[in-house]
Amino acid sequence: MTEILAKGQIWPLEGPIWLVGCGNMAGAMLRRWLDCGLDPHEVTVIRQSGAPVADGVTVLTAPPPDGPVPALVMLGVKPQLLDLVAPDLAPMLGAETLLVSILAGVDLRALRRRFATPHEILRAMPNTPVALGQGVIALATDNAEQAGRDRAEALMAPLGLVEWVDESLFDVVTALAGSGPAFLFRFIDALAEAGADAGLSADQAARLALATVGGSAALASAADESPRALADRVASPGGSTRRGLDVLDEPEGLAPLLRNTLTAAILRNREMAEAAR
């Protein structure tokens, strides 16, 4: 087995690892696993382009025609491509294969209809900071056995915070944590643009905004208080921070904007789930 150096854990699976698709998210997960000591020679990436991924990782345009049954198969293609890859892939999986799906909007029922053989199917929703081991990974499974849940947690632990979520809430988690980095990147951009509009150079405003958000997130993670309480501590009564918070706290301010943002993402996830069924 492979040592997972970052967590002092042992890679919880023995046997070949297949990644079906290796876009931004699957690629970020793979990079982190490799950085933590996963043997690249255990990994086969199956992608139409055949483009290389990392030293030692085999890249094919179709599933291997022979060889041992994979211990892990991770689906990382676009959700609308699921029915293109499933017919050729499903017969090659064994009961012992752990099938992991990171496909947004594709529920366990839809996956099980296409992949009947594996004993366990794991639905995961990671976000891109998994590449640094600081991601969020929401999990749901159709296997209630504790051993399977322990194995899933060990698999995902090097990537960041692992949370089990009722599958009925997966669309919400996908919008909050899966899409959340993109929303936060937009906020950083907007903060920098506001600083530039007020007179700073664009480069300096961008550096200040990024460092401010990064440091504030680290402080919030380490604090015993809620982010709301931390904000109130920064804001002196009658001061400039309080005046700015008054704008964000307006009835049409930040909270309803983010509710509308998450609602739009949730509804789109539900549309994709319906299409997958």
Exposure string (b/e) for 214-246, b if CB count within 10 Å is 16 or more? eeeeeeeeeeeeeeeeebeeebeeeeeeeeebe
Q: Above pLDDT 70, what percent of the chain?
A: 96
Tell me what pLDDT residue 9 has.
59
Per domain, the residue ranges of the chain are 3-170, 180-273
Evaluate whether 3-170 and 180-273 have a shared fold.
no
pLDDT of residue 10 exceeding 90: no
pLDDT of residue 1 exceeding 80: no
Cβ contact 17:72 at 8 Å: yes
Mean pLDDT, rounded, for 218-226: 95
Residue 15 pLDDT level (bands cut at 50, 70, 90): confident
Tell me what pLDDT residue 269 has.
85
Mean pLDDT, rounded, for 34-44: 93
How many Å apart are CA 99 and CA 69, to the nearest integer?
12
Say what the pTM is.
0.85
Our CA angle for 23, 104, 218, nearest 5°, is 75
Tokens of 55: 């030293």
pLDDT of residue 129 exceeding 60: yes
pLDDT of residue 8 exceeding 70: no
pLDDT tens figures, 223-242: 999 999 999 999 989 999 99
pLDDT of residue 21 exceeding 90: yes
Mean pLDDT, rounded, for 97-124: 94
- What's the CATH architecture for 180-273? Orthogonal Bundle (1.10)
Domain 3-170: which topology? Rossmann fold (3.40.50)
Greater model confidence, 127 or 274: 127
pLDDT tens figures, 55-102: 999 999 999 888 899 999 999 999 889 999 999 999 999 999 999 999
